[in-house]
Amino acid sequence: MKNEKQIIAGAIAAAIIVMAVVVFPFWNLIPNNVTETVKVVLVDESGCTAETHDGFDVKIGPCNAKAGDSITTSFDGKIRDRHKPFTP
């Protein structure tokens, strides 16, 4: 009886450890697409870099805008958690 409780507790602990180590980190890899009006700050051969309304820089890829233009685009909203604010 006591061994069964220890086995069940061990299995629950193992499941929690596996969830914490394997499953939860993958959640951050799933993009959270946000559509927002952004200000283009840089245009180069690889595309445009824009600044969001709250000061984060996002690479939006090829675009036909010029620096200073405001455009509406989609990007991964989790970038706010991964990067520091853009400060020119």
Based on the fold, state whether residues 26 and 38 are members of the same structural domain: no
Tokens of 69: 């233009």
pLDDT at 49: 92
**18 and 44 assigned to the same domain:** no
Q: How many angstroms separate the CA atoms of 45 and 29, rounded?
A: 27
Find the domain containing 78 and state its range. Answer: 33-82
Instruction: Check whether residue 45 and residue 58 sit in a common domain.
Output: yes
Containing H/E element for 13?
helix 2-18
Cα–Cα distance for residue pair 31/1, rounded to 1 Å? 46
Which tens digit of pLDDT belongs to each residue from 49-62? 999 888 888 888 88
Q: Is 75 exposed, middle or buried (0-12, 13-18, 19+ CB in 10 A)?
A: buried
pLDDT the model gives residue 81: 67
Same domain (yes/no): 70, 44: yes
Give the pTM.
0.58
Residues 27-82 pLDDT 10s: 667 778 889 999 999 999 888 999 988 888 888 888 889 999 999 999 888 777 66
- Is residue 88, in this structure, part of any structural domain at all? no
| 56 and 38 together in one domain | yes
On the question of pLDDT at 14 being above 60, the answer is: yes
